[in-house]
């Protein structure tokens, strides 16, 4: 789950990181009022859950209240990478001298959080990684030890920061790391962290991505979820208790179990197809869940065939077979499908499907090949 810039920066501020004064507006009148209260130039920032808002025209500096109102009016309602802007953050504008990148992510290979910093901030860090990898400094953190002052100090020297910034930088790195730990984040990022007049550091942008698997520990963060930023299929999947990730292929996959879902995607690829999604309907799924999953898969217009791969354990194959047929009544479609059911009550399950003329396969390889061929119209 992604947090908005304004939400992320509030969490950063609670951890001692300096951020600009600012407030969120949903109308240009409100934006004007906030700009008036702040006094002086302000920056109008679209609050949408994508990066590169600046380049897309979603971040603009206003010199006075009139301009603030006008720019807010322009940015509200704007479409940025498919998302409609319905909120803007009005921040005191910073007089930026230099831009630094600072982030914390999990390094899966090292099994540790790693602080990443670059003196080439502002632009996307992936870009710096391509064009100038030397400019990216990495500081892996040993979890039991944590982040010590001297780690952050060394990082500051590594970046070539001048002395006057070092102590501020240490505070900010520690605050960012603590924000990351306290929220169970998978990413906490300040880009850019800027140098402003008076030799001060300031976090003008902020981004936190929470680990969904740890959300149950943070009811207060779950409340920050912006429903409007979820696609309708993602929302439906979450409400139905399904793990769903949309992909770009044409074979919809409905599977029980995450590992089996991955194996199914692999085998679809092996036989020349491409999976349209990852979807784990979970153990013991009943027909309503199957119907919800089918609706979600079919809402993707690129899907040309659907592969059901069910391993019956707690989930009974006959229950799933009935679920598939009930779901098809509820969600009629011409998209061809094939099912492979094995495990508990598989015979019964297959019979139910056969009576309804629903194609099935006995092995996963056969099922995947059939699905790929059906999708090709063969
Ligand atoms: P992003 O494009 O979505 O990452 O949004 P950012 O908040 O990082 O803003 C993009 C760029 O706008 C930054 O890299 C800055 O160069 C610029 N920017 C952001 N805030 C300010 C500000 O307060 N003053 C000025 N002059 N520029 C700003
Ligand atoms: Mn940014």
- End residue of a domain, out of 42, 74, 92: 92
Predicted pLDDT at 341: 94
The yes-or-no answer on residue 216 being catalytic is: no
Indicate if 76 and 126 belong to the same structural domain: no
Residue 344's Cβ-side half-sphere holds a number of Cα atoms within 13 Å equal to 9
In the DSSP assignment, the letter for residue 3 is P
Number of domains the chain contains: 3
Centre of ligand 1 from the C-alpha of residue 306, in Å: 44
User: In whole angstroms, what is the distance from residue 122 CA to residue 98 CA?
Assistant: 9
- H/E stretch holding 210 reads strand 207-210
- What is the domain range of residue 86? 21-92
Indicate if 310 and 326 belong to the same structural domain: yes
Min mean pLDDT across 3-17, 63-77, 272-286 is at 272-286
- Phi then psi for residue 282, to 5 deg, are 80, 175
Nearest-CA residue for atom 13 of ligand 1 = 122
Res. 232: pLDDT tops 90? no
Helix axes 232-240, 287-298, angle to 10 degrees: 170
Write down the catalytic residue from 5, 120, 189, 250: 189
- End residue of a domain, out of 75, 92, 109: 92
Indicate if 156 and 86 belong to the same structural domain: no
Indicate if 132 and 62 belong to the same structural domain: no
Probe ligand 1: pick from 8, 103, 192, max atoms within 8 Å of CB?
192
Under the banding of pLDDT at 50, 70 and 90, the label for residue 284 is confident
pLDDT tens for each residue of 57-103: 999 999 999 999 999 999 999 999 888 999 999 999 999 999 999 99
Indicate if 342 and 328 belong to the same structural domain: yes
- Please identify, by atom number, the ligand 1 atom nearest to the C-alpha of residue 121: 14
Q: What is the 3-state secondary structure (H, E, C) of 252-313?
A: EEEECCHHHHHHHHHHHHHCCCCECEEEECCCCCCHHHHHHHHHHHHCCCCCCEEEEEEEEC
Res. 287: pLDDT tops 80? no
Other CB atoms within a 10 A radius of the CB of residue 41 amount to: 16
Helix axes 364-375, 258-270, angle to 10 degrees: 60
Give SS3 for 102. strand
Indicate if 276 and 368 belong to the same structural domain: yes
Indicate if 170 and 282 belong to the same structural domain: no
Helix axes 317-330, 346-355, angle to 10 degrees: 30
Provide the β-strand partners of residue 309: 255, 340
Res. 33: pLDDT tops 80? yes
User: In whole angstroms, what is the distance from residue 56 CA to residue 26 CA?
Assistant: 19
- Please identify, by atom number, the ligand 1 atom nearest to the C-alpha of residue 124: 4
Predicted pLDDT at 378: 62
């Amino acid at each position: 789950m992604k947090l908005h810039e304004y939400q992320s920066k509030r969490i950063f501020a609670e951890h001692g990181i300096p951020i600009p004064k600012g407030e969120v507006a949903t109308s240009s009148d409100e934006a004007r009022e906030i700009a008036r209260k702040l006094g002086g130039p302000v920056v109008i920032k679209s609050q949408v859950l994508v990066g590169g808002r600046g380049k897309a025209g979603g971040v603009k500096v206003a010199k006075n209240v009139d301009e603030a109102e006008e720019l807010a009016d322009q940015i509200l309602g704007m479409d940025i990478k498919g998302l409609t802007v319905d909120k803007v953050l009005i921040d005191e504008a910073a007089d930026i001298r230099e831009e630094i990148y600072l982030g914390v992510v999990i390094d899966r290979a090292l099994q540790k959080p790693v602080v990443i910093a670059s003196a080439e901030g502002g632009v996307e860090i992936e870009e710096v990684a391509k064009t100038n990898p030397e400019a990216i400094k990495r500081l892996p953190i040993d979890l039991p030890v944590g982040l010590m002052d001297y780690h952050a100090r060394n990082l500051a020297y590594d970046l070539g920061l001048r002395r006057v910034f070092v102590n501020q930088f240490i505070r900010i790195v520690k605050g960012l790391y603590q924000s990351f730990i306290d929220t169970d984040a998978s990413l906490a990022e300040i880009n850019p962290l800027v140098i402003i007049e008076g030799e001060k550091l300031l976090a003008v942008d902020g981004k936190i991505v929470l680990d969904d698997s740890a959300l149950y520990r943070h009811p207060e963060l779950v409340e920050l979820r912006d429903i409007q930023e979820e696609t309708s299929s993602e929302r439906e999947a979450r409400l139905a208790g399904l793990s769903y990730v949309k992909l770009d292929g044409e074979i919809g996959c409905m599977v029980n179990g995450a590992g089996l879902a991955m194996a199914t995607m692999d085998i679809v690829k092996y036989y020349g197809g491409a999976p349209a999604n990852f979807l784990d309907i979970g153990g013991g799924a009943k027909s309503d869940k199957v119907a919800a999953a089918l609706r979600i898969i079919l809402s993707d217009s690129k899907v040309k065939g659907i592969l059901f791969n069910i391993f019956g354990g707690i989930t009974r194959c006959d229950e799933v077979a009935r679920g598939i047929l009930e779901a098809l009544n509820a969600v009629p479609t011409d998209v061809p499908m094939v099912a492979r059911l094995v495990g508990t009550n598989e015979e019964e399950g297959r019979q139910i499907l056969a009576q309804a003329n629903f194609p099935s396969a006995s092995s996963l390889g056969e099922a995947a090949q059939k699905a790929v061929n059906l999708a090709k119209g063969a």
